[in-house]
Amino acid sequence: MAVQIIRVGTTKDQLGESPCWDADAQALNWIDALSGTLWRLKPEAGEPERHLLPAPVGSIAPCRGAAVVMALRNSFARYDFATRTLEHLARIPIDDPKVRFNDGKCDPAGHFLAGTMHLDRQAGEAVAGGLYRLRTDARVEQLADDIGFANGPCFSLDGRVLYLADSLERIIWAYDYEPDGPLHNKRVFAKTHAFDAGPDGATVDAQGFLWTVLTRAARLARFAPDGGLDLLVDLPMSYPTSICFGGPRLEDMYLTSISRSARLEGRKAQDGGLFRISGLPAPGRLPHHFGGA
């Protein structure tokens, strides 16, 4: 089957990011990171619900009970769709306008991992921030302090390997992962220098292959579990950002994009839109939820 890519709806985000599928509600959630908009779409319902959050928003992940956990500028919170209320959970000890949360994902134990980006970092300047883990009891742990522009956290099928990109270095790292311990055995999983683009949002499919967005190349790349390049998919928007699998059988992939961010501006009419991709080699798997189960 050939890969098909269609635009979904008419939303136009400045910086569309962090799509995540709510399997219980059969709904897709995603954000416009710069405007602080949280979208919730039930595909059969037509237009999505719009919810407003304190901007900027780094990332979101599903919780049980029609809610999402999120990384805001330098804090974690939980948002309830039914009551439209935001509950602050924890904060990291950084208050620097050049450092804010970026991408995040839940681990199999129900903890939420989110990494930061250190903007305008000068040559030789130490990284501020890194990768943090919000535990289910709202305690925060710093797992890494050497990732300057964190993107695409996701896990191997058995949950024992964490993949994490540093977009500026154009490297996807792999770590041995334990939900109750530190990271171990950092090593290179894949490099994206050949595409002249850093890796952005990422997910792992049901075959254990890692998909990552190559934003500046307008492509999707699929890597085998050994890090070898398996497939490239050309995309019809200027700057794609992040992906997740969704749909009743998790056979579709949803993709967000940029119309105008702080650094990139698209020139195509569909830029900033939400897209659905079908005809991929394998479906996804159920996302991990904050709090477990």
Which residues are known to be catalytic? Answer: 200
According to DSSP, the residues that pair with 103 across neighbouring strands are none
Token pair 């977009």 is at which residue? 167
Q: SS3 letters for the chain? A: CCCEEEEECCCCCCEEEEEEEECCCCEEEEEECCCCEEEEECHHHCCCEEEECCCCCCEEEEECCCEEEEECCCEEEEEECCCCEEEEEEECCCCCCCEEEEEEEECCCCCEEEEEEECCCCCCCCCCCCEEEECCCCCEEEEECCCCEEEEEEECCCCCEEEEEECCCCEEEEEECCCCCCCEEEEEEEECHHHCCCEEEEEECCCCCEEEEEHHHCEEEEECCCCCEEEEEECCCCCEEEEEEECCCCCEEEEEEECECCCCECCCCCCCCEEEEECCCCCCCCCCCECCC
Site of tokens 């939420």: 112
